[in-house]
Amino acid sequence: MSDRITLLNHLPITDSKQIIYWMSHDQRVWDNHALLAAAQLAVESENKLRVVFCLNEKFPGANLRSFDFMLRGLEQVAQGLSELGIRFELLRGEPSVEVVRYLKANDCAALFSDFDPLRVKRQWKEEVNREIRIAHYEVDAHNIVPCRVASQKQEYGAYTFRPKINRLLPFYLHDLPELLVQEELLKRVGEGGAAKVFSTKALLDEMQLDRTVSALSLPSGEAAAREAMRNFVSGKLTGYDELRNLPELDHQSDLSPYLHFGQLSAQRLALEVEQADVPVNDRAAFLEQLIVRRELSDNFCYYNTSYDQWEGAPAWAKETLLHHAADEREYLYELSQFENVETHDPLWNAAQVQLLRSGKIHGYMRMYWAKKILEWTPSPQEALQIAIYLNDKYAIDGRDPNGYVGCQWAICGVHDRPWTTRPVFGKIRFMNDKGCKRKFDVGKYIGMWRR
């Protein structure tokens, strides 16, 4: 067992019939180390493999927008697995009830799940582990260098994390089997039988959901993710280093929804980018985001259980922000005024419109957007809560370690350092519209995202 795999409970593999992969984070058939590890064990123990996904309509922060995108992708997972003869079952409700019931009803020999540092997933797994008596393996299929391997503690910042990742990358970046090898392995563990496909629309109609957040027309699923990857690598990857911070050009990968729902393997993407014929600075700039920054977010959420709370901020930041908590605010807004685009600042309002309408704020603008929430709320604790609430509710790549770290970086200095002191911000890095005007065409960006 490679060190991508962690045995969560110290229980044996029983000599029953099925190996089960409880899919959650990595919602794809190909390049999925959790699926491949489960299939490998099925072959070795002469078992069959089944895949389940537990749909929980109470998932924190989820709504019509995120469930619609996720389910449209899962439909394709069900289809893809059934073409390999592997059964996919969509369970409904709490994993502690539904996954446990499925494991008992199907005489399972061992359980596989995919690594996810978020609290909700760790709770689910703890609850399931209390009820089951079979081995439960967790596989890090999301990171190139497995989170627990990259570092055994919370890192201060990219500068302490980058050397550790770079030292380990050669051992992990290339351990992805050829697609033909994957297909050969997966075909051996299927049991055939009718595919239980489902309809996203029918499911959404019967779910208790917050429908105030509109679904996006964004194509979803593994095929769309690969298409978007190819388009980016042959297109906007060139010039990425220089143009990515110009919000009016939108020179971004737009791959974060596919990475968030695990429809695209970061490892496959990194391999494609490594082999692409593009300027070395563009490749380096993108891999820094994809590997160092993204894995640093998992590191923060895994080792800091208060990753989405004020308590999770570094001591220096809490100290300086509290010291300036009583400073005069030039403007003060409630959550509803931020949410309904009612601030005085046309630049901030444009970012909020982009979030509401497209489900994603441009990377550079997301920093400005969050920092202004700090400036225009009565306390830093409230600012962090509002930024995370809005990002989780409206961003298609929200509810993700990257999003929590993004808000914590902007408001509470996570992975950043102290800067010259200013009112309200204290030593937290400051941004304002004058700085934006020096960097990009603010007027054009505002024109792109009018109410």
Residues that bind ligand FO1 (CB under 6 A): 24-25, 54-56, 59, 62, 66-67, 70, 116, 118, 260-261, 399-400
* SS3 call for 451: coil
**Shortest approach of ligand FO1 to residue 397 CB, angstroms?**
8
111 forms beta bridges with: 20, 136
For residues 261 and 348, which CB has a smaller minimum distance to ligand FO1 in the complex? 261
From the centroid of its chain, how far is CA 300? 13
For residues 66 and 320, which CB has a smaller minimum distance to ligand FO1 in the complex? 66
For residues 47 and 267, which CB has a smaller minimum distance to ligand FO1 in the complex? 267
Q: How many other C-beta atoms are found inside a 10 Å radius of the C-beta of residue 313?
A: 22
51 forms beta bridges with: 21, 88
Task: Answer for the pair 28, 264: CB distance below 8 angstroms, yes or no.
Answer: yes
**Shortest approach of ligand FO1 to residue 7 CB, angstroms?**
21
Minimal CA–CA distance to 416: which of 431, 435, 396, 434? 431
**Shortest approach of ligand FO1 to residue 67 CB, angstroms?**
6
Residues 410, 24: Cα–Cα separation, whole Å: 29
For residues 260 and 372, which CB has a smaller minimum distance to ligand FO1 in the complex? 260
Task: Answer for the pair 53, 99: CB distance below 8 angstroms, yes or no.
Answer: no
**Shortest approach of ligand FO1 to residue 272 CB, angstroms?**
22
- DSSP classification of residue 329: P
Chain position carrying tokens 């019931």: 101
Decide the pairing of beta strands 108-114 and 18-23: parallel
91 forms beta bridges with: 54
Task: Answer for the pair 373, 345: CB distance below 8 angstroms, yes or no.
Answer: no
From the centroid of its chain, how far is CA 298? 9
**Shortest approach of ligand FO1 to residue 34 CB, angstroms?**
12
Task: Answer for the pair 361, 351: CB distance below 8 angstroms, yes or no.
Answer: yes
Supply 143's token pair: 């990171």
Task: Answer for the pair 428, 373: CB distance below 8 angstroms, yes or no.
Answer: no
**Shortest approach of ligand FO1 to residue 74 CB, angstroms?**
9
Residues 447, 445: Cα–Cα separation, whole Å: 5
For residues 356 and 446, which CB has a smaller minimum distance to ligand FO1 in the complex? 356
For residues 25 and 293, which CB has a smaller minimum distance to ligand FO1 in the complex? 25
* SS3 call for 112: strand
**Shortest approach of ligand FO1 to residue 132 CB, angstroms?**
17
Residues 304, 371: Cα–Cα separation, whole Å: 22
For residues 394 and 449, which CB has a smaller minimum distance to ligand FO1 in the complex? 394
For residues 48 and 260, which CB has a smaller minimum distance to ligand FO1 in the complex? 260
Task: Answer for the pair 333, 376: CB distance below 8 angstroms, yes or no.
Answer: yes
**Shortest approach of ligand FO1 to residue 38 CB, angstroms?**
16
**Shortest approach of ligand FO1 to residue 396 CB, angstroms?**
8
**Shortest approach of ligand FO1 to residue 267 CB, angstroms?**
16
**Shortest approach of ligand FO1 to residue 61 CB, angstroms?**
7
For residues 4 and 399, which CB has a smaller minimum distance to ligand FO1 in the complex? 399
For residues 33 and 399, which CB has a smaller minimum distance to ligand FO1 in the complex? 399
Minimal CA–CA distance to 297: which of 149, 155, 440? 155
For residues 262 and 413, which CB has a smaller minimum distance to ligand FO1 in the complex? 262
DSSP states of 295-316: HHHHHHHHH-TTTTSGGGS-HH
